[in-house]
Amino acid sequence: MAMENSDELEGQAATDKSQYLLFILDKTLYAVEALHAKEIVEYTQVTKVPKMDPCVKGVTNIRGDIVPVIDLLERFDMGSTAIGTKTSIIVMKSMLKGVEIQMGVLIDEVYEVDDIKTVDLKDTPPFGSRVDKSFIKNMGHYNKDYIPILDMKTILDIDVLSKEVRT
Q: Is the pLDDT of residue 167 over 80?
A: no
Work out the average pLDDT over 142-162: 89
Judge contact between 88 and 43, C-beta under 8 A: yes
Work out the average pLDDT over 118-124: 90
List the chain domain ranges. 37-161
Q: How far apart are the first and last CA of the chain?
A: 69
Q: Which fold has domain 37-161?
A: OB fold (Dihydrolipoamide Acetyltransferase, E2P) (2.40.50)
Query: Rounded distance, CA 74 to CA 81, Å?
Result: 8
pLDDT, tens digit, 9 for 90 and up, residues 6-39 = 444 444 455 688 999 999 999 999 999 999 999 9
CB atoms within 10 A of CB 3: 7
Judge contact between 74 and 80, C-beta under 8 A: yes
The model's pTM: 0.83
